[in-house]
Structure 1
Amino acid sequence: MHPFREFRGKNVDEAILLACQALGVEREDLEIDIVSMGSPGIFGLGAKKAVVLARRRPPAVLESLHDDGEDTPRLEDPTRLHDAASDAPEGDASESEDDEDDEMPPQGRAHSPEEMERLTKEVLRLLTPLLVPICGKEPAISVRQDDDGIIVRVDDEEHNGLIIGREGQTILALQYLLNRMLTKAWREAPRVQLDAGDFRARQIQRLRSLAQSLAARAKRSGRIQSTGPLSSFHRRMVHLALRDDTEVRTVSKGSGPLKRVLVCPNRRRTP
């Protein structure tokens, strides 16, 4: 197995890009460990570069990832974006790629009772063994379908903190593993979102706060503002939070399942 190599850049994306170029592979073919997110400093003083450790994935892992068509897991909390938010490049935001209607619910159709019954059985079979070492027992798990897709909720008030983990890392890792295992067991299985305690409600509130903050900056500066990479569910939260704000508009930019949301002022500030 290849050893990890260290790469540095102005931000994490640049460091990963340098790793891809140096190792001659695509991003999804790398194992990545983020050591430091970096810091822009104050007026350029005290700036610190982002640091990542990267290496090529073993062939067996590469084959599994390519068969599933999924990206490398991102275990950071996707709403922790205040440091990742940055000014977008100047220019017309209409240049963004394939801007799908992210305001639409991500779940394309309602699943039949038979499908939900099968999904519930698979979720219980796959998720319970992952949670028993954390909770010390089998926690209560429920599966429901709402406007935002399939929600799998774990009810164990005593161990909610352990299930969620620091900044949501544990629950996001569990969600990733659950979706991967579901796809292996049932190719047509819908993607699910894992929830425990008030984790999902806090995510939504933080995304709305971030959206309002970026909108205020866009209005004040007259410049386009950008989130970090977001899933379709989290992009939808940003779009909906600013839908009724006539002074800004939102556009998704990027390719693949993770895209940024640009918050664009409808009028540029006069110098």
Structure 2
Amino acid sequence: MYQEFEGKTEKEAIDLAIEALGLERDEFDVEVLETEKGGIFNLQKKVKIRVHLNDGIVAEGSEDPENDFEHAVVDFVHQVTERMGYPADVRVKYREPGKLGLRLDSPHSGILIGKKGKNLDALQLLANIVAGRLDDRETRIIVDAENYRQRREENLIRLAQQVGDQVLQTRKSKLLEPMNPFERRLIHTTLNNIAQIATKSEGEGLYKQVRVVYRGME
């Protein structure tokens, strides 16, 4: 599986791939496809790269929909990706009580994931709205691509632990980047067992920030 990215330099294109896919640099190989020049006197440059994921990075195994509900949700998500201009093969990744996981396979997975997974979150929100209209059992739809959700979760746990250590050492609060509800809950849960630290969400809307606060031995 591969995705393509563009940047002003090869490093910028690689950094965009790392951010979009939530990967470490040693988890993929880079193929430089082309270098384009443009603008006045051909001074502006664009570098296009193709990112090949290393073995074991992409989640293996997927299934076809097995009932009308699954077919409807899968077809809907596929149609949305087509209208975006980045069609994806949508498969059932897993089934759990009250939860259905979908996997997107596409050469444009980086775009479908988006910065910090925001495009993936938007697709997931739309899928859940449609699912809610189709099924009274309130089945939650989880949309994933390139195993982004798991990698993002692992990165956030590491981030929470690092920030927790910083707050304990400096005794100064730290405000994290805006996150969706699931990501914020992960931060709260990771730091909940540290007595000297408190966490609270700040801001409005879907994407809020988590502040990690030192409270001593209260």
TM-score (norm 2): 0.52
Q: Verify the 8 A CA contact 2:102 2:141 in the aligned structure 1.
A: no
Structure 2 distance, partners of 1:143, 1:122, is 15
145, 161, 175: which one aligns with 1:196? 145
Deviation at 1:204, TM superposition (A): 0.8
Give 3-state SS (helix, strand or coil) of 1:144's partner: strand
Residue number in structure 2 paired with 1:134: 86
C-alpha distance after superposition, 1:58-90 (max 9, x if no partner): xxxxxxxxxxxxxxxxxxx9x9xxxxxxxxxxx
Deviation at 1:172, TM superposition (A): 2.6
Structure 2 distance, partners of 1:165, 1:127, is 16
Counterparts in 2 of 1:145 and 1:223: CA distance versus 1, 3 Å: farther
Q: Verify the 8 A CA contact 1:131 1:139 in the aligned structure 2.
A: no
Residue number in structure 2 paired with 1:227: 176
Residue number in structure 2 paired with 1:205: 154
The one-letter code of the counterpart of 2:164 is A
The one-letter code of the counterpart of 1:130 is V
Residue number in structure 2 paired with 1:121: 71
Q: Which structure has the highest strand share of the two? A: 2
Aligned length: 153
Q: Which runs of 5+ in 2 are unaligned?
A: 1-19, 23-65
Structure 2 distance, partners of 1:176, 1:123, is 12
The one-letter code of the counterpart of 1:126 is F
Structure 1 distance, partners of 2:180, 2:199, is 15
TM-score (norm 1): 0.44
Structure of higher RCO (CA pairs closer than 8 Å, 6+ residues apart): 1
C-alpha distance after superposition, 1:118-166 (max 9, x if no partner): 542331231121234523xx6141153559x735332426443343245
The one-letter code of the counterpart of 2:120 is I
Residue number in structure 2 paired with 1:170: 119
Percent of counterpart pairs with the same letter? 23
Residue number in structure 1 paired with 2:210: 261
Q: Which runs of 5+ in 1 are unaligned?
A: 1-76, 80-115
Structure 2 distance, partners of 1:178, 1:213, is 34
Structure 2 distance, partners of 1:229, 1:129, is 29
Counterparts in 2 of 1:167 and 1:260: CA distance versus 1, 3 Å: closer
